[in-house]
Amino acid sequence: MKVKAENILISLLKKYERSVLSRKGSTRNLHIRFDMEQKMKDYYHYENFKEARLLEEEAEFYESKGWITVRRNDGVIQYIDLNPDKAEEIYSFLNLKSVRSYETEVLSLMDAYEGKGIDPLLTEIRRRISEGKSIRGILPEEENAQKMVLQSLSAMMELKEDRLERVFSAEVLGNSKSFEKIRSYIIRILKEYFTAEEEEQEEDLLAQFHILRNPAHVIVKGHGSLRIGSSILELEDFREGLTVSSADISEVCDLNLSDDAVLTIENLTSFYQCQRKNTLMIYLGGYHNTVRREFLRKIYSRYPEKEYLHFGDIDAGGFYILEHLKEKTGIPFEPYLMSVKELKACASHCLPLSENDRRRLESLKQNSACSEVIEYMLEHNVKLEQEQIPL
């Protein structure tokens, strides 16, 4: 069984926090109730006799304090009701913050972050509190952790260049490991309030806001040369592609590219497999970060007449990456092998759309140049990973 009466008490408090009683009170005869038969059937099983007896003793103690009312039938607990008037007393006993103290703490802390790029989050928190809705889960319980979340978010909104996650953590929070402790809250908030793109990979999401877990790099293959500092690198010498670090990319001072087209590729396997002729190929690795964008801009400023293509998954994520790429670089990329033709040719490898896929595709099709293929995907309930497309 492994459930103590204390856990039931905590469950009742959480239910109380979601109820009208915790905010405005009520003239109605509302019950904050834990139904044993519905939620804890093991309590009635004879094999759990000893644990059940311990639970009953704890319940008797809480009842003697006036914190709960226990309803029994022949000595067996049927359900437990919380006494809302004793809620603050129970919070203190359990060493938990009440919903009111938690909200007061958060509201006071938020004032210091007004106008620092995270107003959509602050506005939503204030709205939820004013409407009597819970804000637990948006920010951590502990005050210092709340401050670290808000501090990190506001600093991320001001970043213009990429930072390694641990470097950012040391600079902003004073400890290289602190960001890891609040990472899940940062991810959730970014998804909810600061981006329309729902990447599956956390690293891709953070990269949009210039936070990188590992040093960034570019892999490029094709024909021509790059001059980095005093070194000239011939692309033909690197059959599997030339890997250039972010530090070195920023030092590229000359480009001599002979291919007529530039093709960015989302997936590393597809990058290695692709052998398109007369094409400079660049491994994008999901969402492009600052390093890759700057490299693409350097190419485009030197060779605006080239054909610019992007090859990614034929799904909502792939089209979001394409739109994001065009928007952030200002380069008129066109989709490559991302049409109805590929969906039909690889029909046996297509996967069905999830509800989330459908929602994202519906929002994309209004303004995307890929509306035709998106309509086909929605109509035929299909999507396709780029690794399934013959190269």
Identify the pLDDT of residue 304: 96
Higher per-residue confidence, 14 vs 22: 14
pLDDT digits (tens, 9 = 90+) for 286-317: 556 677 888 899 999 999 999 999 999 999 98
Of 316, 327, 322, nearest to 374 by C-alpha is 316
The arithmetic mean of pLDDT across residues 131-153, rounded, is: 87
Least confident interval from 61-70, 224-233, 248-257, 327-336? 248-257
Q: Residue 321 pLDDT more than 70?
A: yes
* Cβ within 8 Å of residue 178, ≥6 positions away: 148, 169
User: With 90 as the cut, is the pLDDT of residue 340 above it?
Assistant: yes
- If you average pLDDT over every residue of the chain, what do you get? 87
Residue 78 has pLDDT above 80, yes or no: yes
Helix (H, G, I), strand (E, B) or coil at 57: helix
Q: Is the pLDDT of residue 74 over 70?
A: yes
Residue-wise pLDDT tens digits, 359-374: 989 988 877 778 899 9
Give the position of tokens 């030092």: 251
> Six-digit token pair at 120?
């959509």
Provide the pLDDT confidence category of residue 135 given band limits of 50, 70 and 90: confident
Choice among 15-24, 183-192, 321-330 with the minimum mean pLDDT = 15-24
CB 83 within 8 A of CB 68: yes
Predicted confidence at residue 203, as pLDDT, reads 81
Rounded to 5 degrees, φ, ψ at 151 are: -65, -45
Decide if pLDDT at 389 tops 50.
yes
Higher-confidence position of 57 and 153: 153
Of 175-189, 199-213, 229-243, 307-321, the range with the lowest mean pLDDT is 199-213
Q: How many angstroms separate the CA atoms of 235 and 94, rounded?
A: 65
Whole-number Å distance between alpha carbons of 290 and 328:
9
Residue 180 has pLDDT above 70, yes or no: yes
Do the Cβ atoms of 82 and 32 come closer than 8 Å?
yes
| pLDDT band with cut points at 50, 70 and 90 for residue 1 | low
pLDDT at 26 over 70: no
Residues forming beta bridges with residue 212, ordered by sequence position: 164
Least confident piece of the model among 25-29, 227-231, 279-283: 25-29
How many other CB atoms sit within 10 Å of the CB of residue 102?
Answer: 20
State the pLDDT confidence band at 375, using cuts at 50, 70 and 90: very high
Q: Select from 245, 372, 388, 208 the least CA-distant residue to 311.
A: 388
Q: Is the torsion defined by CA of 65, 71, 75, 77 positive or negative?
A: negative
pLDDT of 27: 45
What are the tens digits of pLDDT across the range 41-69? 778 777 778 888 888 888 899 999 999 99
What is the rounded distance in angstroms from the CA atom of residue 337 to the CA atom of residue 242? 24
CA distances from 289 to 172, 206, 211, 294, 368 (A): 21, 10, 9, 9, 22
